[in-house]
Structure 1
Amino acid sequence: MSLSSHVEQLKKKHQDLSEQVEEAQRAPGTSDLEIADLKKQKLRVKEEIERLTESA
C-alpha cells in the first residue's frame, strides 16, 4: 500500500469517527465515556495522518 493511499484511508477513518462522535452526542443513551473514547480514537488517527504527511 502506498503512503498516499494509507493517508487517504486514515482520512476516511477520521471522517467516519467524526460522524460517530456527532451521532453519539445526539443520542440520549450514549455515555460521556463512550464519546470520550471516540474522540480519543479520532485524535490518534489525526496525529497519525500528521505524522505520515510530515515525513513524506
Structure 2
Amino acid sequence: MLSGGGNVLVELSSELAFLETRFTLITQLGELINVECKGVLLMDEEGQQELQ
C-alpha cells in the first residue's frame, strides 16, 4: 500500500455515519491498483465494540 490515501467520515446521526476510503496498492510488478470503498457505518453499541 502506498502512502497518501484518504478517509472521509460524515456523521449523519449519533449512531449512523457515511464512510469513504481511498488508497493505492502496488503489485510486485510495479502496477498500481486504485481502491475506493464507500459504505454506511452503524455506530450502535455492537458497532462501537467492533471498532475497539
TM-score (normalised: structure 1): 0.19
Higher RCO structure (Cα 8 Å, ≥6 apart): 1
TM-score (normalised: structure 2): 0.19
Larger Rg belongs to = 2
Q: Counting strand residues as a fraction of each chain, which structure ranks higher?
A: 2
